[in-house]
A and B are shown apart, each in its own frame.
Chain A
Amino acid sequence: AQSVSQHNHHVILSEAASLELGCNYSYGGTVNLFWYVQYPGQHLQLLLKYFSGDPLVKGIKGFEAEFIKSKFSFNLRKPSVQWSDTAEYFCAVSRMNTGFQKLVFGTGTRLLVSP
């Protein structure tokens, strides 16, 4: 079965530190890749997505992610985090499955940024 792994369950950083959250998936076919973020008390919202083209994807709020097909990875990065980046981050992968785009989520990474 297709799975998505986020190995860092909790990450604590100081402001201005660099961030990299890992995401690996198991499916070998064509995939679409997403990072969603859930700020405290807010909706789950899209941070960035990759469908095709340049494997380095830029999203909102200074986030970026790189798709490395050979490593089945889609790691999220930010060069300098802010206190407002404190949130839970979810990686998700989808593939066409009998005409339906099933979205499979990782277990999430809770990021705490201390001021």
Chain B
Amino acid sequence: DGGITQSPKYLFRKEGQNVTLSCEQNLNHDAMYWYRQDPGQGLRLIYYSQIVNDFQKGDIAEGYSVSREKKESFPLTVTSAQKNPTAFYLCASSIEAGRTDTQYFGPGTRLTVL
């Protein structure tokens, strides 16, 4: 099946720890995105990548980092600098970032900081 997978589904971490969320797609899409979803705030863009080895900050990149070493993978690291990391994180992809393409979403990872 083609699609986007995110792991783990639920993640718990202690304050002060970095944690990496996985996102893999087998859709052969060039563009990938990370969003954060909080109740009553919709989805906000953290980082995006238009092509391998390139990525750009979104609206709320502080305290996060990403890498794009392979086309199919776009992991997100939530660092200890992120002041309010507890949230639902969604990964998405689209054929290209520069066209009017639909973004397809993964199932999400719910991160809870204890």
Q: Does B94 contact A (CB under 8 A)?
A: yes
Contact bitstring B41-84, A, C-beta under 8 A = 1, else 0: 11111001010000010100000000000000000000000000
Selecting from A13-21, A38-46, A61-69, A76-84, the interface stretch reads: A38-46
Interface string of B87-110 (1 = CB under 8 A from A): 000100010011111111111100
Is there an interface contact between B98 and A106, defined as CB atoms closer than 8 Å?
Answer: no
Asked whether A100 lies within 8 Å of B43 as measured between CB atoms, the reply is no
**Which residue of chain A lies nearest to B98 when distances are taken between CB atoms in the complex?**
A99
A94 contacts partner chain B, Cβ-Cβ < 8 Å:
yes
Residues of chain B contacted by A90 (CB below 8 angstroms): 42-43
Q: Which of A42, A94, A107 contacts B40 (CB 8 A)?
A: A107
> Which listed residue, B35, B44, B98, touches A100 by the CB 8 Å rule?
B98
Whether B90 pairs with A44 at a CB distance below 8 angstroms is: yes
With A90-B42, A106-B42 as given contacts, are A100 and B106 in contact (CB-CB < 8 Å)?
A: no
> Quick check: B45 and A46 within 8 Å, CB to CB?
no
- Chain B residue contacts of A94, Cβ below 8 A: 100
Q: Interface size bucket, A side?
A: 20 to 34
Residues 33-73 of A contacting B (Cβ, < 8 Å): 34, 36, 42-46, 49, 51
- Bound CA–CA A92/B45 (angstroms): 12
- Which residues does chain B contribute within 8 Å of A99, judged by CB atoms? 50, 97-98
Q: Are A51 and B100 in contact (CB under 8 A)?
A: yes
Binary per-residue interface labels of chain A (70-112) against chain B in the complex, 1 for a CB within 8 Å, 0 otherwise:
0000000000000000000010101010011111011110000
Interface presence of A7 (CB below 8 A): no
Kindly report which residue of chain B lies nearest to residue A90, judged by CB atoms. B42
Whether the pair B105, A44 counts as a contact (CB closer than 8 A) is yes
Which residues from A are CB-within-8-Å of B107?
Answer: 42-43
Q: Knowing A44-B90, A100-B48 are in contact, say whether A108-B42 is a contact too (CB < 8 A).
A: yes
